[in-house]
Amino acid sequence: MKGVFYRSDTRKPEEIFAGGFQKRDANSAGPVKRWPIDEEHALDIVPSSAVCVTRFFEAAPLFPVADLKSNSWVYVLDLDTSKMTNTQQWQYEDMGQKGQLGNPGALWPMFGQERAMDSVASDEIIGAVHVKRHFDGNVFEGGRFLPITYQANPSYEGPDATVALAENLISLLVQAKAWINMPAQEQGIVLSTKTENFKD
């Protein structure tokens, strides 16, 4: 079964469209769990062991977090869900085992609706939208992003209807010239409300 996912990266489309996404640790047998340091946080994934993606478009521009001042490209992906690991489900089950499901603060990583794969091939990338990012402080406080341009991937091998749908939907966002909220850590899935009087 196929599904649309997103991944944000500061590398430009000419590089990603040519080579796709590869995990940094080529020797990893697959997505590897990284257990938290205490009972109040959900487990995470070792980032180098997989290519992480999200089902949540608004969460994608939170990453990468190494340089929050850089603009990014949000890649639109058409992926086989049978080949991915549901890391969000890991987190949910882990919090259930710890009796933390009633604690919104403990569940905050789940807002990203994260999934993980060994790789994403070039022909699975529908296109990329260039976004300007603005954060309210650190990544946990969320922020907003502005879609600037959209670029289709000529190597994508999926249906023409999918190409048209992605381009039409994202073109509307580009034309709107409106900032879009990214999720904040607060209460897990609550969007940042610090948008009043924000100007480009």
Distance CA 177, CA 180 (A): 9
Q: Is the pLDDT of residue 184 over 90?
A: no
Cβ(180)–Cβ(58) under 8 Å? yes
Structural domains in the chain, CATH included, are 2-182 (3.90.210)
The first and second tokens of residue 139, run together, are 């990544």
Q: Read off the pLDDT of each residue in 53-77 and give the average, rounded to a whole number.
A: 93
The set of residues, in sequence order, having a beta carbon less than 8 Å from that of 55 and lying 6+ positions away, is 3, 4, 5, 6, 113, 115
> What's the whole-number average pLDDT of the chain?
86
Alpha-carbon torsion (6, 189, 110, 35), positive or negative = positive
Distance CA 126, CA 133 (A): 22
Beta bridge partners of 149: 130
Q: Is this prediction's pTM over 0.75? A: yes
Query: In angstroms, what CA-CA distances link 186 with 43, 140, 145, 190?
Result: 18, 8, 18, 6
Which helix (H) or strand (E) segment is 80 a member of?
Answer: strand 72-80
186 band by pLDDT with thresholds 50, 70 and 90: low
pLDDT tens for each residue of 119-158: 999 999 999 999 999 998 887 788 999 999 999 999 999 9
Q: Is the pLDDT of residue 48 over 50?
A: yes
195 compared with 111, residue with greater pLDDT: 111
